[in-house]
Amino acid sequence: MFKIESKLKLSLPTALLITVMIMALISFSIIKLKSVPHIPILLSILLLLAFGAFKKLSFKTMEEGMLEGAKSGMGAVFIFFLIGVLISSWIISGTIPTMIYTAFGLVTPYFFYSIVFIVTAIVGLGIGSSLTTVATLGVAFIGVSQAVDASAAITAGAIVSGAFFGDKMSPLSDTTNLAASIVGVDLFTHIRNMGWTTLPAFFIALVLFAMVSPEVEQAQFPKVETIKATLHNMNLIHWYAWLPLLLLFILSVKKVSPIITLALSSIFGVLLSFFHSDRTLAEVWEILFSGFTSKTGNSEVDALLTRGGMDNMMFTISLVLLSLSLGGLLFSLGVVPRLFAAIEQHLKKAGSTVAAAAGSAIGVNFIIGEQYLSILLTGEAFQRQFEKVGLARKNLSRTLEDAGTVINPLVPWGVCGVFITNMLGVSTVEYLPFAFFCLLSPVLTVLYGMTGWTLTKKE
């Protein structure tokens, strides 16, 4: 978005006032009114258009800024469509059900919190949705924690940590694709680079959960066994269901384009589905567009597998386009450039730049309470500065995930925080101290930035 020329020269107080007004409007709508982000973002765009008109800026000029902003997200939009198709194809091929079934097989009463963390991480990685993982496995594990007399707060912390590890590292995740595309980094390059901070945070969290796990010798896990039995009865658990995942892994290692990788894995999944299903091609087409609908009668399984499809990605796509249009308008009116200029003089080194980007992503999460905007706005605002201090863009995309994606569930009034509290019946304040992975990620990214370790220089 720095390619968008600022048409106005604003004073710092004016830029700050506009920013505060927009943040207040969005945060009030999301937190107080429980609104989806789309409406307050649209109202913010209208507010900015009115301000531009007051400053005698032509609507055509402002429209061009909005279109330039939206245009920068078109690559992500196409990938989001393919993700919707991939999820559907992986469900009917048995890939996602087989991953979930295998993960549940790891559940034992020993090191309970660590097992919860690992299982939710595997499933989150497989389906690419933290909130779906929380709403399904999370609810089941909260019930299990009651059966083994474990702490609901620590269990919730393990669930949130695992779910957001999976969300962060999955090529199916919309936030992962968004962070990569917003700064122009290849998806799998972005995921590989995140390993430097994500894997240490994962293993440290795993040890911490093992240390605080309760001493339980025997326990029954009726919900777990019921879910496994239901999955098995769907005739979707097969050895060959792992092959689409293997293909995705091979293509990613070979650095094949994410679009080609997602498309080939989807096609492979569809072909495999005919081995155990008698669906017509028309029915498969409908599932790829509208998503898979599970009708087993088991609420946990149905919630977990009723997903996917191009149509179900429209919520995310519309939010991305609106947010990028808002960002383009903020740049066109000179708001963001003026704010950035005020702090730019203090960012002379790589360490301070990484810390500032992390702080910005965390700040947007706490001020607005919205995960996507923390990635979008911070990503656009810091691209030029990362280049100025000689850092490759993949350092910025990693920072966006480390301090943006995983922080929203720790915000009591944030979209993810409110959702998780409602699903698990555990307040954000209660589970926050035990969401070890989410707490460690921004600490490590700032620490790496200060030391320069694993930072890649611009080629």
Does the pLDDT value for residue 438 go beyond 90? yes
The CA angle 29-30-31, to the nearest 5 degrees, is 100
CA-based nearest residue to 2, from 311, 259, 385, 354: 385
Q: What is the dihedral of CA 325, 331, 335, 336, to 10 degrees?
A: 100
Confidence (pTM): 0.74
Inter-CA distances, 184 with 178, 297, 413, Å: 10, 43, 31
**Is there a contact between 436 and 161 (Cβ–Cβ < 8 Å)?**
yes
What are the residue ranges of helices labelled H in 291-401? Answer: 299-305, 314-332, 335-344, 350-368, 371-388, 393-400
Q: Tell me: pLDDT of 437 over 90.
A: yes
Contact 283, 102 (CB under 8 A): no
pLDDT band at 3 (very low <50, low <70, confident <90, very high): low
User: Does residue 383 contact residue 344 with C-beta atoms inside 8 Å?
Assistant: no
Candidate from 99-108, 214-223, 327-336, 358-367 with smallest mean pLDDT: 214-223
Mark 36-50 as b/e (b = at least 16 C-beta within 10 Å). Answer: ebeebbeebbebbbe
Q: In this structure, what are the phi and psi dihedrals at residue 176, rounded to the nearest 5 degrees?
A: -65, -45
The burial class, CB within 10 Å (0-12 / 13-18 / 19+), for 254 is exposed
Q: What is the DSSP string of 115-156?
A: HHHHHHHHHHHHH--HHHHIIIIIHHHHHHHHHTT--HHHHH
d(CA 422, CA 409): 12
Q: Return the domain boundaries, the chain.
A: 77-313
Interval 377-404: pLDDT, tens: 788 778 888 888 888 999 999 999 999 9
Average pLDDT of span 85-96: 90
Residue 95 near residue 354 (C-beta atoms within 8 A): no
Nearest in space to 102 (alpha carbons), one of 285, 228, 245: 228
Nearest-CA neighbor of 371 among 309, 316, 443?
316
Residue at token pair 């947010």: 323
Cα(396)–Cα(380) distance, rounded to whole angstroms? 10
| Model pLDDT for residues 218-243, shown as the tens digit of each residue | 545 676 778 888 988 999 999 999 99
80: helix, coil or strand? helix
Residue 444 has a pLDDT of: 95
- For 307, the 3-state DSSP assignment is strand
Core vs surface per residue 120-145: b (16+ CB within 10 A) or e: bbbbbbbbbbbbbbbbbbbbbbbebb
Predicted confidence band at 349 (pLDDT cuts at 50, 70, 90)?
A: confident
Helix (H) or strand (E) holding 76: helix 74-92
CA distance readout (Å), 94 to 102, 199, 270, 334, 425:
12, 27, 10, 50, 31
Which residues fall within 8 angstroms of residue 314, CB to CB, at 6 or more apart?
none
Task: Give residue 371's pLDDT band: very low, low, confident or very high (50, 70, 90).
Answer: confident
